[in-house]
Amino acid sequence: MVDSTAELLNVVMRLPPQARLELADALWLSVDGPELNPVVDTELAELVQQRCQELDSGQVVPLSHEEVIARLDEALARCASVTPLPSPTN
């Protein structure tokens, strides 16, 4: 049996990455809920409702997964072609 959070973390950190991801997801889902942060959940619910109304009214047109990925690829290509600014010297 593990006696402290530090000991538990030490054990968990020795798990393979996939197992840690599954554990993190299960832990997150176990504490997620409006009682933890009602302001954020209320704001998120309002935003989701607004977005649904925009889609239903035709005000916005949804993009397919392929379109989203293509646009992200284009944006990343543009970012990669930009010459970085020199770092400031002291």
Task: Please tell me whether the overall predicted TM-score, pTM, comes out greater than 0.75 for this model.
Answer: no
Residue 67 confidence (pLDDT): 96
Tokens standing for residue 50 = 């607004």
Query: How far is residue 24's CA from residue 15's CA, in Å, rounded to a whole number?
Result: 12
32-82 pLDDT tens trace: 666 676 667 788 889 999 999 999 999 999 999 999 999 999 999 988 887
Residue 39 confidence (pLDDT): 66
Query: How far is residue 26's CA from residue 15's CA, in Å, rounded to a whole number?
Result: 15
Query: How far is residue 14's CA from residue 84's CA, in Å, rounded to a whole number?
Result: 38
User: Can you give the residue ranges of every domain in the chain?
Assistant: 1-32, 37-81
